[in-house]
A and B are shown apart, each in its own frame.
Chain A
Amino acid sequence: MSHFDDARVAGIQTRHEAELMRYRNVVGVAAGIRTKGGQPTGERCLVVYVTRKVPASTLAKDQTLPTEIEGVPVDVVEVGEVRPLDG
């Protein structure tokens, strides 16, 4: 985990963000830390927030998120619907 990794992931986010945000179910993209089975591993990755996680087999090919981009792992995190927090 270094500043070099941070900068690299940030750069990848900038380049691929628009394309990732176009996927159905995707509500957010950020440079973050990878989790496995709910536990953070410490590995820098590109976090993609989705409303609902769906098995890759049930998705159309163009709707399946890549598992890595430019060598950086993509971590798909289910967060539900993101909405303003008033009423």
Chain B
Amino acid sequence: MTDELKEWSTAERAAGQRAAEAWTKFFEAQRPEVAERAEEIAETARVTEVQDKHEASLMAMENVVGVAASLKITKGKPSKQWSLTVLVEKKLPLTDVPPGSRVPPEINGVPTDVVEVGRIEPLLFTARARPAPPGYSIGHHNITAGTFGCLVRDIRRCCCKLEKDCCHAPTHEECPGDYLILSNNHVLAATNRAQPGDVILQPGPFDGGVFPADGVATLERFEPIVFGRSGYNLVDAALARPTFTRNVTASIIGLAAPRGIDQAFVGTNVIKVGRTTQVTVGRVLAINATVSVNYGAPGVAQFRHQIITTAMAAGGDSGSLLMDRNLNALGLLYAGSAVITIHNHIADVETALGVRPVTAPRSG
């Protein structure tokens, strides 16, 4: 493995982008998206119009970090009144604000609302985080970095079979199972080279994770990758056991925990959260693809029954959970080129490792 993360060139990325746009347009024409929230659009039309006109002058004011159409907040509670919300770093008494930077109470008849949000910084998915959320950098101490996909429950080795830490569930079926970290074999198990018990760092070594101070988990088990033309694989997946359960959370940064499990179909609108390209969207192009993936030194491995999507990832995104727009888990991202991204079906991951992703079903 090299010390550098693999990056696409600008030209390669542009080609991937063009292909993705063509596919998005195609699928949108196939099944026009229902004009959801039509009411909201009607109500906010006036606010949006005013926002467009005055955004530049508002953003030029001292202290202002954002402008948006939103519900007005009165005494800390959202009201039903749509307003032009001005986000400021810090709310100051009116007398301390220079006259040119005072937000008028209303603009062209639309009420304004000043909300303090602090300084806006880019989300750093390469940082050390405790608890570590899925989507953040993670990796075996011998690799560069990948992505923490999601939390799963171990259904193969019920905790009650172990002598220590028994959950004391009355029956095997009722045992909730241990919580484990899901990512790729080549992220957590250094492409078959690691031993169970090896330390997993968060962030990954490339992002400054140091052995053993940034250890968050230990390698639990992995599905070995079979190299060469004669064999084939279904998944590039591995599990790590958090050193302490309080070290990890199930909520994917910026989004909620996965809602459930679903099957990908050609045309499905998908989203993923990963270390490098963070939140990206794409479309499913194929669900039963056979591909050869070049792992470098260990060789080429063939994979069957794979999901192909438009390009939505770069080096470091390996291990990201692929979800549909309702946040149902569909796949596990592991490989790609500048034009396509490749994922394992989540059901194949469940079968290979004997796990079930932790989900938070929507009530009602």
Contact = CB atoms under 8 A, between A and B. Distances in A.
Contact of A86 (B146, B229, B294): B146
Contacts of B144: 86-87
B316 A86 contact: yes
Contacts of A42: 26, 30
Contact of B289 (A30, A78, A81): A30
A65 to B, nearest CB: 15
Contact of A29 (B19, B290, B318, B337): B290
B289 A29 contact: yes
B22 A40 contact: yes
Interface string B338-349: 111110000000
Given A29-B289, A87-B6, A79 B22 contact: no
B326 interface: no
State which size class the interface on B falls in. Answer: 35 or more
Contact of A84 (B2, B287, B306, B318): B318
Contact of A28 (B23, B26, B290, B295): B290
Contacts of B288: 10, 13, 30-31
Nearest to A40: B26
A85 interface: yes
B134 interface: no
A47 B334 CA distance: 20
B192 interface: no
B39 interface: no
A86 B144 CA distance: 7
Interface in A40-82: 40, 42, 47, 49, 51, 77-82
Interface string B268-300: 000000000000000001111111111110000
Nearest to A87: B144
Given A21-B292, A47-B286, A86-B186, A77 B318 contact: no
Interface string B1-30: 111111000001000001100110010001
Given A85-B314, A85-B334, 11 more contacts: A28-B306, A29-B291, A32-B285, A33-B266, A38-B22, A84-B191, A84-B236, A86-B146, A86-B186, A87-B3, A87-B6
10 contacts: A27-B292, A28-B342, A30-B285, A33-B266, A40-B22, A49-B291, A79-B339, A82-B335, A85-B6, A86-B139
Interface of B: 1-6, 12, 18-19, 22-23, 26, 30, 139, 143-146, 184, 186-187, 191, 206, 229, 236, 266, 285-296, 302, 306, 308, 313-318, 333-342
Interface of A: 10, 13, 17, 21-22, 26-33, 35, 38-40, 42, 47, 49, 51, 77-87
